Amino acid sequence: MELESFADEFGPEMIVEVHNNKAGLKGVLIIDNTALGPGKGGIRMTPTVDVEEVFRLARTMTWKNALAELPFGGAKAGIIADKVDKEKKKSIIQSFARALKLVSPSKYIAGPDVNTTEQDMQWYAEANGNWRSCTGKPSNVCMKLFGKKGEKCGIPHEFGSTGFGVAHATVVAATYSKMDIHGAAVAIEGFGNVGTFAATHLSEFGAKIVAVSDSKGVIYNKEGLNVEKLLTVKADTGSVINYRHGSVLANKEIFELNVDILIPSALPDVINKGNVDRVKARILVEAANIPMKEDMESILHKKGILVVPDFVANAGGVISSYAEYRGHNPKRMFELVEGRIKKNVNAVLKRAKKENVKPRDAAMEIAVERVKKAMQKRDK
């Protein structure tokens, strides 16, 4: 993909290609826009990642960070690699971190993404030499690497900030739709990090989780599922379908259930031309990235189904990153996630109603306005 085919007034500002034959490293960093602050975005490691994919993800981060009112711009990094052993992976990550020292953390702050973890972020910080160079680190990384006794500056994504934020986004959407969250029937596609925490918190808020899925299938009970027992079954047996008090359905059926709220939290493009007309939920909260294309959102919008877009609903992770970057503890992080998610979902839904547009359009308008304003201020 040629640079001219995707460059515009917003960016990208910088494309850095990194090669290290000895380490087996071939990677790219795209810093899209830094008008609001250093570019923030994770490092994904797959055999197929390319410049176009990294750019699109970097641009999404520009809008997500702007909408969340964070002092971050948008960036993303990709490393081309298949499955590698621990030592090889450490060598690749640390070679990448050393190569990016000139721009990280001044212009780029890394984080975990597809096939990278808190352990990888520890390696990145170690090689970079600055604890602010990345987020998503183990909670003891400051004490371990930088000699700050008693201070813990890592907030791993395993704390569940994204799912926590999704739960609060769902409550705001329900309130906006004059739906009582207490007893509202919720179906959640995906029972990984995001889906499990969303289910846990929504259950605590009084919602009735009636269906969840994983790669093996869907477990459904219209009277409700016990989330704590589901977590145990998943951990013990490897799949939610082994939960005894419910019906096992095919994965595709979860999107067509007669529920109040549907939360796709795993795979892309799960709502598509083949099933969009059979979605019965009144509210759909996009916990996963790109669970449907924009034209599918338009179809649901015309049917009167409220869709809270991905970069609005799932911003809890990047808000957590900001909390870690500032050196906050987990308690303060959760307070920030709750406050920012509630504020921004409300702002998006009110604007969408006022302008008679779908929520994604309203969210994009807000994000673009914030970035343009920051660019004008910077360029004076």
Assess whether 76 carries a catalytic annotation.
yes
Residue 73 has what DSSP assignment? E
DSSP label at residue 238: S
Rounded Cα gap, residues 258 and 266, in angstroms = 20
Residue 111 burial (CB < 10 Å; 0-12/13-18/19+)?
A: buried
Please answer whether residues 370 and 36 qualify as being in contact, where contact means their C-beta atoms are separated by less than 8 angstroms.
yes
Please say whether the beta carbons of 28 and 97 come within 8 A: no
* CA nearest to 227, candidates 254, 247, 198: 198
CB burial of 229-241 (b: ≥16 within 10 Å; e: otherwise) equals ebeebbeeeebbb
User: Which two structure tokens, joined as six digits, stand for 372?
Assistant: 């343009």
Please tell me which residue in 76, 90, 137, 208 is annotated as part of the active site.
76
**Residue 59 burial (CB < 10 Å; 0-12/13-18/19+)?**
buried
Q: Do residues 191 and 230 touch, judged by C-beta distance below 8 A?
A: yes
Residue with tokens 């004490």: 143
271 - beta bridge partners? 292
Pair 268, 247: CB distance under 8 Å: no
Catalytic positions, please? 76
